[in-house]
Amino acid sequence: MKLILAIGIVLLTVSTASAQYNPVIAHRGAWKKKALPENSIAALDEAIKLGCFGAEFDVHMTVDSVLVVNHDADYFGLKIAKTKYQDLLQKKLPNGENIPTLEAYLKAGLKQKRTRLILEIKPSNVSHDWDMAMTDRVVTMVKELRATKLVDYISFGYDILQRVLIRDPKAKVAYLKGDVPLEKLKVDGFYGADYHYSVYQKGEWFSKAKELGLTINAWTVNELKDMNWLIGHKVEFITTNEPELLLEAIKDQKRK
C-alpha cells in the first residue's frame, strides 16, 4: 500500500509539473497580435491576460534622471538620455499612452502576481557612470515599490548586472549577449543565461546548465520549429514576439 501511495504521489507531482510548464515571456509585452505599442502598459496587460510567465520590457534614463520604458535609445526622434521627461510627453504612443515611466509600469504589473516582470536595463552610449547611476535608480525603485519578488533583471551589460547584485544580492539576473560561458555566470552569482536561440544550437548548453543550477532563456523565438525544439529541451524560458503561438505550441506538445 505504501509503495502504491508513493508511486501515486510521484505521478501526481510529474503530471502537475508538466501541466504547469509555462516558459512564455512576451517580448516587449504581448503587442503584435492586437497591434499594441511595444513596451506599452497595454501590451503588459495583454501579456498578463494571456497568462504568460513573464513580460519583458526595456528601461532607459532621461537627462533629468527619470526612468522610462522604451526599447530604443530614442523615442520618436528624441534621444532619451539627452531629453527631459516632460519633453518626451509631447509625443504619445499610437494608442494614446504616454511613454511609461518605470514607476507606472511596475505599479501596473504589481496589480497581479502571476506574470513576472522581466526588466532589461539598456546600456547607454553616455558613460559607465551613467549606466551605474541608472542601475542604482532602477534597483532602488524596485525595492521601494516592493516589487523585488516579481522582478527579474536582464541586460547586455555584464557590469550592469554585477551592479544589480551589489545593490540586491538576492536579485535574479541573466546575461543577454551570449559571449560568456555558463561556468562564469555561475561563479559571478547569475541566475542564468538569456542568449539568442542560435547560440544554444552550437555545443551543449542544456545539460550543463542543469548541472550548474542555471536557467536557460532563449530570445527572440518567433518560428514554430524553433519553439518546438526548445520546448523539447524543456528550457526554462522562451522569449517571443508571438506568445499566443508559443502557448498553443506548448498545448500541442502536451496533447502528444
Q: Which sequence spans correspond to the domains of the chain?
A: 34-171, 177-256
Find the range with the poorest average confidence among 6-15, 42-51, 159-168, 247-256.
6-15
What is the chain's mean pLDDT, rounded?
Answer: 93
Q: What is the helix (H) or strand (E) element at residue 79, kind and residue range?
A: strand 78-79
Query: What is the CATH code of the structural domain delimited by 34-171?
Result: 3.20.20.190
Tens of pLDDT, residues 175-219: 999 999 999 999 999 999 999 999 999 999 999 999 999 999 999
- Alpha helices (runs of H) in the chain, residue ranges in sequence order: 2-19, 41-50, 85-88, 102-109, 128-144, 158-167, 182-187, 206-212, 224-232, 243-255
Q: Would you say 63 and 52 are in contact if contact means Cβ atoms under 8 Å apart?
A: no
Other C-beta atoms lying within 10 Å of the C-beta of residue 68: 23
pLDDT of residue 235: 97
pLDDT of residue 254: 84
* Cβ neighbours for 191, distance < 8 A, ≥ 6 positions apart: 152, 172, 173, 174, 214, 215
User: pLDDT tier at 253 (50, 70, 90 boundaries)?
Assistant: confident
Crossing angle between the packed helical segments 243-255 and 41-50, to the nearest 10 degrees? 10
pLDDT at 8 over 60: no
Q: Which of 213, 131, 114 is nearest to 172 (CA)?
A: 213
Tens of pLDDT, residues 65-119: 999 999 999 999 999 999 999 999 999 999 999 999 999 999 999 999 999 999 9
What percent of the chain has pLDDT above 70? 93
Q: Which of 32, 39, 24 is nearest to 69 (CA)?
A: 39
pLDDT at 12 over 60: no
Domains 34-171 and 177-256 share a fold: yes
Measure Cα distances from 237 to 26, 113, 116, 185 in Å: 10, 18, 12, 17
Q: Would you say 51 and 22 are in contact if contact means Cβ atoms under 8 Å apart?
A: yes
User: What is 177-256's CATH number, 3.30.420.40, 3.40.50.1820, 3.20.20.190, 2.70.98.40?
Assistant: 3.20.20.190
pLDDT at 18 over 60: no
Q: Would you say 119 and 151 are in contact if contact means Cβ atoms under 8 Å apart?
A: yes
pLDDT at 129 over 90: yes
User: pLDDT tier at 251 (50, 70, 90 boundaries)?
Assistant: very high
pLDDT of residue 156: 98
